[in-house]
């Protein structure tokens, strides 16, 4: 009854933590492609090949449903995977849609035409590849009109987090927020479009100020997944063992993961 969670590295652990708390009886198989992180500076074909390889490994582990807990993979690879690669009996879902549904106050499955929503000026903080894909704007346009999105490519933040250099990560976040404000001085909402960013969410909130509503993904994805599994219980796969897999060096990755989540996390080779 396993469900897979895939990320380019450690950021997806923020999603794992939220879904594990929401669905404690579901064994989750987490795969971090740490050997190839970060994805945010790679081209679309490279991201597609790496993502399909990771998802295939999760299928092998008994997961019929895989969550791409990586905005870059969701932006650059998901649509192509769903159209031409994912087997009919499997499902691969991304992390953008729950976020946009919350931002636009639309319920799951609301397929009505796009309409005007309360928020008009949105700041998007994401990796360079996610920004370049314009996937967020495309998904938003399916649901809302009249929303101005200003995207800020946050180069270096994921690298700093993966290396455990939180001082550098904080400095980079503040620099990127300053750059965004030069383009959009008064955003109403800010979207943290990378699952690494909840690890520095308080820095984003402090830099943006209390007047900006900050949308972060883990809890939104957890609620959406709980709803999806409630409607599609057949998508819980046959695997029964919860585990953490990595393409990187397990001891080092385990140490970083334990540091981030403040609980012991033991990775094994993928």
Residue pair 162/123 in contact (Cβ under 8 Å)? The answer is no
Residue 226 clears pLDDT 90, i.e. is over it: yes
pTM: 0.90
- Domain 2-94+218-269 and domain 97-215 have a common topology: yes
Mean pLDDT of 173-182: 98
- Half-sphere exposure for 74 (CA within 13 Å, toward CB): 29
Indicate the range of 168-172, 219-223, 247-251 predicted with least confidence: 219-223
Confidence class for position 236, pLDDT limits 50, 70, 90: confident
H or E element, residue 96: helix 96-104
Domain 97-215 has CATH 3.40.50.1860: yes
Active site residue 63: no
What does the alpha-carbon distance between residue 53 and residue 32 come to, in Å, rounded to a whole number?
A: 12
Q: What is the residue whose two structure tokens read 């967020």? A: 136
User: pLDDT digit string (tens) for 49-108?
Assistant: 999 999 999 999 999 999 999 999 999 999 999 999 999 999 999 998 888 888 888 876
Q: Where are the domains of the chain?
A: 2-94+218-269, 97-215
User: pLDDT digit string (tens) for 19-62?
Assistant: 999 999 999 999 999 999 889 889 999 999 999 999 999 999 99
Q: Which of 194, 208, 225, 257 does the annotation list as catalytic?
A: 194
**What are phi and psi for residue 45, nearest 5 degrees?**
-65, -40
Q: What per-residue confidence (pLDDT) applies to 108?
A: 61
Q: Which of 70, 191, 199, 203 does the annotation list as catalytic?
A: 70
First to last CA, the chain: 19
Architecture of the CATH domain 2-94+218-269: 3-Layer(aba) Sandwich (3.40)
**CA separation (Å) from 175 to 11, 210, 251?**
20, 18, 32
């Amino acid at each position: 009854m396993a469900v897979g969670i895939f990320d380019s590295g450690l950021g997806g652990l923020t999603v794992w933590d939220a879904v594990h708390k929401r669905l404690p009886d579901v064994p989750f198989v987490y795969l971090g492609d740490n050997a190839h992180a970060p994805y945010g500076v790679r081209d679309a074909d490279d991201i597609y090949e790496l993502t399909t390889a990771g998802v295939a490994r999760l299928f092998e582990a008994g997961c019929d449903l895989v969550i791409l807990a990586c905005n870059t993979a969701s932006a650059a690879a998901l649509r192509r995977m769903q159209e031409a690669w994912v087997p009919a009996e499997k499902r691969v879902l991304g992390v953008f849609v729950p976020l946009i549904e919350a931002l636009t106050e639309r319920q799951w499955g609301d397929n009505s035409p796009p309409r005007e929503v309360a928020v008009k000026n949105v700041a998007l903080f994401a990796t360079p590849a996610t920004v370049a894909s314009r996937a967020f704007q495309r998904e938003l346009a399916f649901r809302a009109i009249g929303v101005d999105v200003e995207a800020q490519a946050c180069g270096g933040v994921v690298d700093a987090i993966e290396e455990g250099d939180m001082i550098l990560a904080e400095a980079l976040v503040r620099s990127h927020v300053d750059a965004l404000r030069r383009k959009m001085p008064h955003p109403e909402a800010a979207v943290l479009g990378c699952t690494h960013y909840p690890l520095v969410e308080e820095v984003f909130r402090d830099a943006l100020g209390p007047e900006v509503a900050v949308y972060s993904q883990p809890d939104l994805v957890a609620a959406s997944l709980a709803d999806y599994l409630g409607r599609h219980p057949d998508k819980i796969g046959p695997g029964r063992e919860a585990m953490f897999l990595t393409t990187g060096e397990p001891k080092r990755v385990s140490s970083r993961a334990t540091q981030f989540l403040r609980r012991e996390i033991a990775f094994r080779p993928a």
